[in-house]
Amino acid sequence: MKTFYVTTPIYYANSLPHLGHLYTTVVADCVARHRRQRGCETYFLTGTDEHGINVQRAAAREGRAPKEQVDYVVGELKKMFAAYRLDAEGGGYDIFMRTTEPFHYEGVANLWRKIAAAKTPTGREAIYKGFYEGWFCAPCATFKTEEEYVRAEREGDAPLCAIHEAPLDRVSEESYFFRLSDYGDALLALYESRPDFVRPEARRNEVVSFVSRGLQDLSVSRLKSSVSWAIPVPDDTAHTIYIWLDALTNYVTAIGWGNEERERAVGFEKFWPALHLLAKDILRQHAIYWPAFLMAAGIELPVGVFSHGLWLDPEGRKMSKTLRSLLRRRDPRRRDQRGEAFARQARGRRGGRAGARQLARARARSVRPAVRRLRLQPRSRNRVGDHRARRQDDLGRQAVGAGEVRRAARDARRRALPRG
């Protein structure tokens, strides 16, 4: 029997879930159910990324220990998924992966050792110790180049992240580096030989363009004195592992890579490679860093990376916990029982394509009333911005689904045209 493995990103557990988390998981759930209906043994992963400075700071603000903070967020995220029948009991995900699982710690340590022992395509060590100095965005969990931040208006102030509009941290410390610069040609060869590795084509072109300009080596550790809530570097307890090397590895540790007990329970050889679904703001990490890590470790590359767009607020900014430009979900089971009844009928009556279409309609009936009631929580704006935001909010409340959004925008443009 053929197998199929699909993943969402694991969502950062620094704050409560929002509609962006729900969107990717619903898409992955539809793909997984489609495969299962056709007799394919399918494994569906979602979960949470629970380490790093941003979680550490969020826990301190709430007066909690980091583990208490992530446990609280995980509980809320599971409630949201259960409300939309995306959990295991509802026939959804097979594993809710958490990077605080002991088997994940073991797998990450094994991957680090395997990469550290490897040679790059040019024959150099894949991991080496150096010194890093630069700007770091905690919400992005990414070091920023000059093109990726906005300079502060006042001299001496820290620059702002172009995405989160938050001040960056100046990092100047000893660090381990992954020699990403040696993998540029190998990555370009991958994109050339497998044009569908990154989809859609527009996202593939972005990745190819970025890699073609030349890659810089990637810092893959932080001093424990700076970031203590993280997995320790093997054989060097003064350092902790950089969040993306930790987080991306979950896709293989969840199905048993690096842990014999987990391998027997699920089966890495059985299900790998995976199809990764994600939003375009983390495309670089999945389409560049992740395949480079796997090349260094000698692990088979994923089936591919599929990137979707972002939910934007009226000012064009992505939905973000840091910006507070959020759409919080409301439980559809509490508000509208019709969708649940239709879902039960669709599951019970028919199978195949007709059953799948009926189930999709039922889910839409269940979700739409909650989506209409979601409220935007934007930052303060000037009067012109407020007027524009109210106008766009009105359109958003009227429009559910891509077709209706387009029609509403078209009608708004027509009304704005001068008459006569």
- Catalytic residues, which ones? 18, 21, 137, 140, 161, 164, 318, 321
Q: How far apart are CA 417 and CA 408, in angstroms?
A: 15
Q: How far apart are CA 378 and CA 325, in angstroms?
A: 5
Q: Return phi, psi of residue 260, to 5°.
A: -65, -40
The DSSP 8-state label assigned to residue 286 in this structure reads I
Beta carbons within 10 angstroms of residue 360's beta carbon: 13
Q: How far apart are CA 263 and CA 59, in angstroms?
A: 33
Judging by DSSP bridges, how do beta strands 41-49 and 95-98 pair with one another?
parallel
The DSSP 8-state label assigned to residue 147 in this structure reads G
Q: What is the 3-state composition of the chain as percent helix, strand, coil, each rounded to the nearest 5?
A: 45, 20, 35
Judging by DSSP bridges, how do beta strands 275-279 and 3-12 pair with one another?
parallel
Query: What are 18's two structure tokens?
Result: 């929002």
Q: How far apart are CA 350 and CA 354, in angstroms?
A: 7
CB 398 within 8 A of CB 408: yes
Q: How far apart are CA 173 and CA 191, in angstroms?
A: 34
Query: What are 299's two structure tokens?
Result: 């692990």
Alpha-helical runs (H) found in 8-52: 19-37
Q: How far apart are CA 282 and CA 219, in angstroms?
A: 17
